[in-house]
Amino acid sequence: MVGSTKISAGLKAAMVLAMCLGAGSAMADFQTLNGSVLYREKIALPPEAFVEVTLEDVSKMDVKSTVLASQTLKPSGQVPVAYQLTYDDEMVDARGRYSVRAVIRVGDDVMWRSTQSFAALTGDAPETVDVVVEQMVQRTENALSGSDWVVVQMNGNTVQEARVPALKFDRDGRVSGTSGCNRFTGTYTEKGGFLEFGPLATTRMACPGALGEQEVAFFQALTKVTGFGMRDGHKVLLDASGAVVMQLLAE
């Protein structure tokens, strides 16, 4: 009888667990988003390339996006490369903004990446999201170094001040320049189209009026930079979503 009681208790525990798992499955409403990744250049996709696709919540400004789903693909042919992202519909707010981002890598190097937002899920977003990726500047000794760069556009706006921000990237990982008012120096790391600034030290000269506003915008923009590339023939610094933070012009 004692053995029978133990079996009965075990069965009850198993039934409770099954009911809990069933309830969890019922609450999760998984959906799929389909699309493709492609580029316009007439270049063969290297056989060792991997395609990474992510679905992200980009609803909040100045906050790192939340990844809802991701997929890494080993293409068997050329572009377009089809993808399918599975996400939990409970994580989607009809009032939110969502986008698909894609990167094509060969080893640690980013060969292509999306440099604009491709809307998904809400609003007027298409049911099938095709992501066009842009070819990145390949890592070379003078990808950024070797030139003095002036900032001609920042956050989509043309720099109006006569004293424009400028940057200089040294080959030893040092960066220096000016906000148009104060000078700064610091470090940077660059690899395969990705770019990150280290701590920056600045002078402390007072910057009145519009020049001061430009300085604040400049240093805030630098904190958003995660990569660089070319857009319409211009060298640009990009944020994590691929949006242009700054457009540069070589002096």
What is the secondary structure of 60-123 as a DSSP string? STTSPPEEEEEEEE--SSSSSEEEEEEEEGGG--TTS-EEEEEEEEETTEEEEE--S-EEESST
Predicted pLDDT at 41: 85
Residue 178's φ and ψ, nearest 5 degrees, are -145, 150
Biggest CA-to-CA distance, the chain: 93
Residue 2 scores a pLDDT above 80: no
**Taking residues 56-85, what's their average pLDDT?**
93
In angstroms, what is the C-alpha Rg of the chain?
Answer: 24
Which helix (H) or strand (E) covers residue 2, if one does?
helix 2-27
Are 152 and 146 within 8 A, CB to CB?
no
**Spacing of C-alpha 196 from chain mean position:** 13
**Taking residues 132-148, what's their average pLDDT?**
72
Q: 153 versus 28: which is more confidently predicted?
A: 153
Question: What average pLDDT does the chain have?
Answer: 86
Banded model confidence at residue 11, pLDDT cuts 50, 70, 90: low
Q: How far apart are CA 106 and CA 110, in angstroms?
A: 7
